Amino acid sequence: MKTFNVPAYYRSQLISKVKEYRKLQDPRKKDRRPTAIDFGAVTWHIARHFGFCYGVENAIEIAFKAIDENPGKRIFLLSQMIHNPDVNRDLESHGVQFLQDTYGQQLIAFDGLTPEDVVVIPAFGAPLPLIDLLERKGITTAKYNTTCPFVERVWKKSEQIGETQHTIVIHGKYTHEETRSTFSRSVVHSNAVVVIKDLEEAKKLATYILGQKTQTEFESEFAGKFSEGFSIHEHFNKVGVINQTTMLATETTEIAEYIKHVMQQKFTQQAVNQFFADTRDTLCYATNENQDATLGLLDAPADLALVIGGYNSSNTSHLVELCERKFPTYFIASADEIKSQHEIHHFDYPSKTMRISTHFLPQKEKVNIIITSGASCPDSVLEAVVHKINSYYSTIKTTEAALATLTV
């Protein structure tokens, strides 16, 4: 695996030791059990896989390369490079400005851009119309394009199934940068594209595939989520499912299998591969590994779960969703959200609101906590959370002593 030139302050001596230990114990990454590290009063159960993925480290390296290679020039990011507030604030501290927010709303007008400016494309990619706009202004976008290779793989798959006249169903969040970028490319290659966010929307889509509801109802129910000229009578004869790479992988698989079954209902006398394209290989390896590792956490004997990442991070939200199946779970951006041993501020993803919980740490002699982080969260942030919680207890081992206790 390639190593990237990422600022040292994103790294963590503690977490690096944990990862090194697991790499020696499980070089093939087959064991999804967490790593336990005993600090005395607190035992932490750390996910087998978490934190920066290949695409994020690649993006950070390219962004800082743009800063280093262009002294004195204005440097812009098209939008948030990744969904982590610490990394984005760090880039701003180096003079980088954001042209749009995470939802595509303009922060700085494109009219003021010149060919001398540098624009960095985020890891999620960018919609083709925006790429074209920048190129027309004389700004070369290829040099500092941080688009994740696994996102580009999804685009390639959409091109392949579009060329065979399949309608493309994107499992994603329509307002997410990556899904908007994928949608813009899918419409170039396919006659029809529609976005669904979950299995419930897949079931709603099935009523149109099977001809149970009307075109007018479709246009109302999926308003803003389908390509121009979409016809439920013409465009549900061949279908393929691709995904936003940060979605819950098991749900993407479930949606694909469900729609495949629906298409079998519709065309009972034909082989399924005539009207359904198998696109399971668009799932991101890092998303899969982090989600599998989080499922492995559910077997730990823990009192609570801490999940760390940006509040607009899709992949982190799904780790929260998994942990909530068993534990009281707190979604925090950093150690700053832990106000005291009695109070924590955490994000409720479904309602998009902050909540305050008190007495979140159990009053017992030995506390067990599971912890993981999203793919865009620096290891140093996770370490800071560990030390913040540890600071509330008087009988805490040194880091060196705790590292000697590492077990699986």
351, 287 Cβ separation under 8 angstroms: no
Q: Residues 16-49, buried b or exposed e (16+ Cβ, 10 A)? A: ebbbebbeeeeeeeeebbbbbbbbbbbbbbbbbb
Burial of 151 by CB count in 10 Å (0-12 exposed, 13-18 middle, 19+ buried)? buried
Nearest to 123 by CA among 79, 86, 168: 79
Question: If DSSP codes are grouped into helix, strand and coil, which group holds residue 347?
Answer: strand
φ and ψ of 243, to 5 deg: -140, 160
Pick the catalytic residue: 57, 92, 163, 178? 178
Neighbour-count burial for 334-361, b at 16+ CB within 10 Å, e otherwise: bbebbeeeeebebbebeeeeeeeeeebb
Structure token digits, residue 219:
């246009």
As a three-state string, the secondary structure of 116-158 is: CCEEEECCCCCCHHHHHHHHHCCCCCCCCECCCHHHHHHHHHH
* AA identity, residue 42: V
Active-site residue 135, yes or no?
A: no
Cα dist from 235 to 67, 141, 226, 262, whole Å: 46, 34, 11, 14
How far apart, in whole angstroms, are the C-alpha atoms of residue 152 and residue 17?
32
**Of the candidates 55, 52, 36, the residue with the CA atom closest to the CA atom of residue 44:** 36
Q: Beta strand pairing status for 367-373 and 35-38?
A: unpaired
User: Mind telling me the catalytic residues?
Assistant: 178
